[in-house]
């Protein structure tokens, strides 16, 4: 897959990751440890999908 195809395939994930990171910061700031754990798992799943699409 050339870089252009990879960029297109991961474009929607960029927005999801940005939103998830913003949410993670929010929950950390409010001390919501359960939500932080969920957000970390969600970010991990998004990164796994990103890597899957890049192959």
Show Cβ contacts of residue 10 under 8 Å, excluding neighbours closer than 6 positions: 50, 53, 54
Q: What integer pLDDT is reported at residue 6 of this predicted model?
A: 55
Q: What is the pLDDT along the chain (55 residues), one digit of tens a residue?
A: 455 555 656 678 999 999 999 999 999 999 999 999 999 999 999 999 988 988 8
CB of 47 closer than 8 Å to CB of 28? no
Task: Let me know the angle formed at the C-alpha of 48 by 47 and 49, rounded to the nearest 5 degrees.
Answer: 90
């Amino acid at each position: 897959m050339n870089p252009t195809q990879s960029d297109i395939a991961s474009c929607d994930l960029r927005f999801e990751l940005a939103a998830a990171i913003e949410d993670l910061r929010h929950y950390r700031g409010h001390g919501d440890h359960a939500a932080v754990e969920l957000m970390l798992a969600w970010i991990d799943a998004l990164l796994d999908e990103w890597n899957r699409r890049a192959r």
